[in-house]
Amino acid sequence: MSLRIYGNRLLKTLPGKDTRPTTARVREAIFNIWQERLGGCAWLDLCSGSGAMGAEALVRGADSVTGIERSPRACSIIQENWQLVAQDTQKFTLIRGDVSQKLKKLAGEQFHLIYFDPPYNGDLYTPVLELIAQLKILHPSGELAVEHDPKLPLPETIGLEICRQKTYSNTGVTFYQPS
């Protein structure tokens, strides 16, 4: 299976249901909301899946993309997808492992835009949001978007505050900024 991103580029995805790619509608909405922030930004893609969000960020002008993904098979696809779209001046880094553990490796770095799309039925939301706030990896003027089941209320964590919420059919997206 493949999916299309900005500029009609095709990306690979994993077969089966190991990952749940962000729908085209949600992806377009996120990038429309963040379009003025993308040029030159540092993007963090948590639970990267196929890498489509990071690839789209690269195509739309991010300086760098960092991703964390647990699945070895997905990491192989992400690497291919990001190599396909990245320009020579852009950097991308992929970290394989559990997001709760590997996020600590990014202490001291800051990201302008963070996209977090964990399994909807998982228990990653609160610990990862708290860790992002604790590590202060979200740039002071940055924004974090969390994809989730719209019926699932997300926490207001210490150091982050909800600045907007959107619902797109079966998908909720909650945006946070530093307090």
pLDDT tens column, 127-164: 999 999 999 999 999 999 999 999 988 888 788 999 99
**135, 107 in Cβ contact below 8 A?**
yes
pLDDT of the residue at 141: 97
* Alpha-carbon distances of 126 from 7, 91, 156, rounded to whole Å: 35, 29, 9
Measured between alpha carbons, how far is 36 from 92 in angstroms, rounded to an integer?
Answer: 21
Phi, psi dihedrals of residue 158, rounded to the nearest 5°: -65, 130
Phi, psi dihedrals of residue 88, rounded to the nearest 5°: -60, -30
Measured between alpha carbons, how far is 51 from 13 in angstroms, rounded to an integer?
Answer: 8
pLDDT tens column, 37-78: 999 999 999 999 989 999 999 999 999 999 999 999 999 999
* Structural domain boundaries in the chain: 2-15+23-178
For the beta carbon of residue 116, count every other beta carbon within 10 angstroms.
24
The structure's pTM equals 0.92
Look up the CATH superfamily of 2-15+23-178: Vaccinia Virus protein VP39 (3.40.50.150)
